[in-house]
Amino acid sequence: MAFDYGLRQIGVAVGNCLLGTTQPLTTLPARDGVPDWTALGSLVAEWQPDVLVVGEPLNMDGSNSELSARAGKFARRLHGRLGLPVELADERLSSFEAKEQQRERGHRGDYKARPVDSYAAELILQTWLRERGLRSD
């Protein structure tokens, strides 16, 4: 299960390591980066992932961004609350790419009404799987 961490919303995607498949799942609301832990825990209980992947918002030069420390704190809280392994994955341009893909699919318009965060989480998960040789595209 992967998360595209944000201060107002957190995108969630799931995948299968054996099949190398991924899919966007949902977008959870957040208040100043804090999710509804009950809703998040319910998703984890339903999908029973083996590992949680959190997108690490790095700058284009690879340095930490303003949001990097907050995403790291979110990752540590996930591990502490859920007891599952948590890994960080480079998420540079994932939201931009998710918006581009949505435009290519004909979804034009307001991203507040139709957030792309779950699609960005899916891209983060695809990258994580690819880096481990579990996805070949």
The string of pLDDT tens digits covering residues 59-95 is 778 788 888 999 999 999 999 999 999 999 988 655 5
For residues 121 and 98, what is the distance between their CA atoms, to the nearest angstrom? 9
Pick the closest to residue 79 from 120, 45, 51 (CA basis).
51
Residue 58 lies in a domain: yes
Please tell me the pTM assigned to this model: 0.83
Band the pLDDT of 103: cuts 50, 70, 90: low
Check residue 41 and report its DSSP letter. Answer: H
Mean pLDDT in the chain? Answer: 85
The CATH number of the domain where 62 resides is what? 3.30.420.140
Residue 137 lies in a domain: yes
Pick the closest to residue 58 from 26, 95, 103, 85 (CA basis).
95
Residue 39 lies in a domain: no
What is the residue range of 86's domain?
A: 1-8+54-94+127-137
Residue 63 lies in a domain: yes
Question: What is the predicted pLDDT for the residue at 98?
Answer: 53
Render pLDDT for 37-63 as a digit per residue (tens, 0 to 9). 999 999 999 999 999 999 998 877 878
Q: Work out whether strand 52-56 and strand 2-4 pair parallel, antiparallel, or are unpaired.
A: parallel
Residue 60 lies in a domain: yes
Note whether 99 and 111 are within 8 A (CB): yes
Residue 21 lies in a domain: no
